[in-house]
Amino acid sequence: MERCICYGLMLLMMTVVAVRGNEFEYDDPLTFNHYHGSCPQLEKIIHNKLNHWLKNDSTLAPALMRLHFHDCSVRGCDASILLNHKGSERTAKASKSLRGYAVIDDIKAAVEKECPKKVSCADILTSVARDATVAAGGPFWMVPYGRKDGRVSLAKEAESVPMGHERMTDLIEFFQSKGLNVLDLVVLSGAHTIGRSTCGSLQDRLFNYKGTRKPDPSIDPKYLNFLRRKCRWASEYVNLDAVTPKAFDVQYYKNLQKKMGLHSTDQLLYSDSRTAPLVSAFASQAGVFKHQFAVSMVKLGNIQDYNSDEDGEIRLNCNYVNA
Ligand code: HEM
Ligand SMILES: *[C@@H]1O[C@H](CO)[C@@H](O)[C@H](O)[C@H]1NC(C)=O
């Protein structure tokens, strides 16, 4: 019990430091009232359209959260993942199982009708990821707006997004390169409390771990058995959280404590001493998890590419750069 309180405090302190840090680093051009004048109904349009899609297919909620993560992971949150041309990010191997593009296109069309040429695809995707989280039972947060859409999208840059077989040091460094810390890494991985994976991304782990022709020894034997039966074909799907696959809860972290992480990058969060204490803290404190998830999602959504000398634009169609 004492341990829990201590980690709760530790989380709180890390959050305070993270928020302060942002204030001093750059003038945040994103604001809550960015569209108050130019598109006051924006969030309502997005919310209604999205819920329409989710009513028919609720598996789109996790898919859209992931699409936002992959967008922000490459050149910041600039909708570069949505550009649909030869050699763009969405054609990369790492993007193969991404879904939800049609939802964004549909919402963009509705937004263009109400507020033409005002709202970026990057802002739409960010808002959709928030609403998808809420629809899945996760926390709400305020989304600051004012992102611009990028003009560059390269498949080879998308291949840097982690695929589930990286070392913890690589994951930490990847997140750090985006301005996200170890706490953000552990809490955002909690998104894997919902959604699914193609079996293709775990077959090595189940049948030939690191070339040993044996499974990863860090998987619970019963869970391994289940996965090997479920994943005979690479095209099959398996839930990321085997116990409560549709609930936005802390079961993901509890699973890690029982060697039931789906990808090795999930399981490593509990075997690596840099991240394990945070896994334990979240597993026992659902409120802390939900609060910190919201805080870290804002950070994820605020990632911008400082190296780009290109000016962004408001795309008219999320699939193409403006002519
Ligand atoms: C820490 C590094 C991460 C790794 C290595 C990772 C890896 C993966 C992998 C391998 C899949 C399954 C892909 C497939 O084969 O279909 C997946 C799915 C998913 N990821 Fe991650 N992920 C990471 C971080 C994140 C973050 C930060 C978020 C969002 C905040 C996220 C949200 C999701 C969701 C919701 C799904 C399910 C998608 C669906 O059901 O369609 N992931 N992730
Ligand atoms: C509803 O969702 C299913 C997949 O779950 C999809 O095949 C179908 O096209 C969707 N229908 C509409 C009207 O979007």
Contact, 111 vs 124, CB < 8 A? yes
28 Cα to the center of ligand 1, angstroms? 27
CB 95 within 8 A of CB 69: no
Across 210-228, average pLDDT? 97
Ligand whose nearest atom lies closest to the CA of 57: 2
pLDDT in tens, 6-17: 455 455 555 544
Compute φ and ψ for 34, nearest 5 degrees. Answer: -50, -40
* pTM of the entire predicted model: 0.93
Domains of the chain by start residue, with CATH = 24-161 (1.10.520.10), 168-296 (1.10.420.10)
- What sign for the dihedral angle of Cα 194, 198, 201, 207? positive
Please report which confidence band the pLDDT of residue 152 belongs to, taking 50, 70 and 90 as the band edges. very high
Per-residue burial over 268-298, b if 16 or more Cβ lie within 10 Å, else e, is bbbebeebbbbbbbbbbbeebbbbbbbbbbb
Residue 297 CA: which ligand 1 atom is closest?
30
The pLDDT of residue 4 is above 70: no
CA atoms within 13 Å, Cβ hemisphere of 188:
25
Q: How far is the CA of 191 from the centre of ligand 1 (A)?
A: 7
Q: Is 56 in the pocket of ligand 2 (CB under 6 A)?
A: yes
Average pLDDT, the chain: 93
Pocket around ligand 1 at a 6 A CB cut-off:
62-63, 65-66, 69, 97, 99, 162-164, 171, 185, 188-189, 191-192, 194-198, 201, 240, 263, 265
Task: Report the alpha-carbon distance of residue 308 to residue 164 in Å, rounded.
Answer: 28
* pLDDT value of position 10: 55
Mean pLDDT, residues 57-77: 98
Per the annotation, binding residues for substrate are: 162
* Two tokens, residue 60: 């789109």
Q: Residue 29: what pLDDT?
A: 85
Does the pLDDT at position 55 exceed 90? yes
Give the tens place of pLDDT for each residue, 24-35: 444 448 999 999
Give the ligand at the shortest distance from the Cα of 102: 2
What digits encode the pLDDT tens for the residues 237-248? 999 999 999 999
pLDDT in tens, 177-215: 999 999 999 999 999 999 999 999 999 999 999 999 999
* pLDDT of 309 strictly over 80: no
Residue 56 Cα to ligand 2 middle (Å): 6
Query: Which is the closest atom of ligand 2 to the Cα of 59?
Result: 5
Nearest ligand to the CA of 264 is: 1
Q: Which residues are catalytic?
A: 70
- Give residue 244 CA to ligand 1 midpoint distance, Å: 16
Nearest-CA residue for ligand 2 atom 11 is 56
pLDDT cut 90: percent of the chain above it: 89
What confidence score (pLDDT) does residue 207 get? 95
